[in-house]
Amino acid sequence: MSGPKLPHDSSDLPQDSGVAQTAENKLGKGTTGITRRGFLKGAGVTAAGTALLEGARAFGREAAATRGEHPEGVREFGPGPVAVTLQVNGKERVIHIEPRTTLADALRLEMAMTGTKVVCDRGACSACTLLMDDIPINSCMTLAIDAVGHQVTTIEGLTESSEGHSMQAAFLKHDAMQCGFCTPGMVMTCSALLKKNPKPTEDDVRLATAGNLCRCGTYPRIFAATLEAAGVSDSESTHNA
């Protein structure tokens, strides 16, 4: 079934569309110069025209996809389950998931790795933090298929490493948790900080955990635990507040 023809560039637009032609006129074609007023008015019209054209192109791409046509090099997945291979904690895992599945759900529901917590499920609390290529990310906001080809480290994998183990031991020693829902995400964020900055100040820890919400208010204990895991003494940890 063929769909409606959509404009792909300004030449496809009707002569009276008022977009490209108007912009050209507004820029003063046929005059001897461009005035400041004319330039600003023209720039506004050009920006509006560009936005309109981009919208038309996006609509055109969507209509083509509906007809089963894809530009060269573009592959379509789903909507049903597809086989996806992920590298999780150094091991290859093959799962069958719908392309819309988040990394957090893939771990928790498909691999039974429930150490990663989902609290807000909308990128607001960072409870679901894990590492992708050693960078902390919110796994509730990342599609599992976008993790293909990257090294994913979860709280379960961190436990097996010496630095992860010492961070967790420090959290236990400082009793840096109450309900524990934020704790795996906090541990992942703080571990990522120490990889980047092995001797942080308290200010560094505060900054690194700024996106991690702890509704129980255990922040001072989390800061103390992280500094202890880093082997930073009280005097070294003084922040500049």
Q: Which residues bind ligand FES (CB under 6 A)?
A: 118-121, 123-128, 138, 140, 177-183, 214-216, 218
User: Rounded to the nearest whole angstrom, what is the least distance from the CB of residue 140 to ligand FES in the complex?
Assistant: 3
Which residues on adjacent β-strands are paired with residue 96?
83
User: Which residue, 20 or 225, is less far from ligand FES as judged by CB?
Assistant: 225
**Least Å distance between CB 115 and ligand FES?**
13
CB-count burial class (<10 Å; 0-12, 13-18, 19+) for 237:
buried
User: Phi/psi of residue 78, each to 5°?
Assistant: 80, -170
Measured from the CB atom, is 3 or 123 closer to ligand FES?
123
CB 203 within 8 A of CB 241: yes
Q: Which is nearer to ligand FES, 20 or 97 (CB)?
A: 97
As measured in angstroms, the least distance from the Cβ of 185 to ligand FES is 8
Which residues, 6 or more positions from 153, have their beta carbon under 8 angstroms from its beta carbon? 88, 89, 130, 131, 132, 134, 188
Q: Which is nearer to ligand FES, 96 or 122 (CB)?
A: 122
Least gap, CB of 142 to ligand FES (angstroms)? 9
Q: What are phi and psi of 145, to 5 degrees?
A: -65, -20
Which residue do the tokens 């691999």 mark?
A: 111
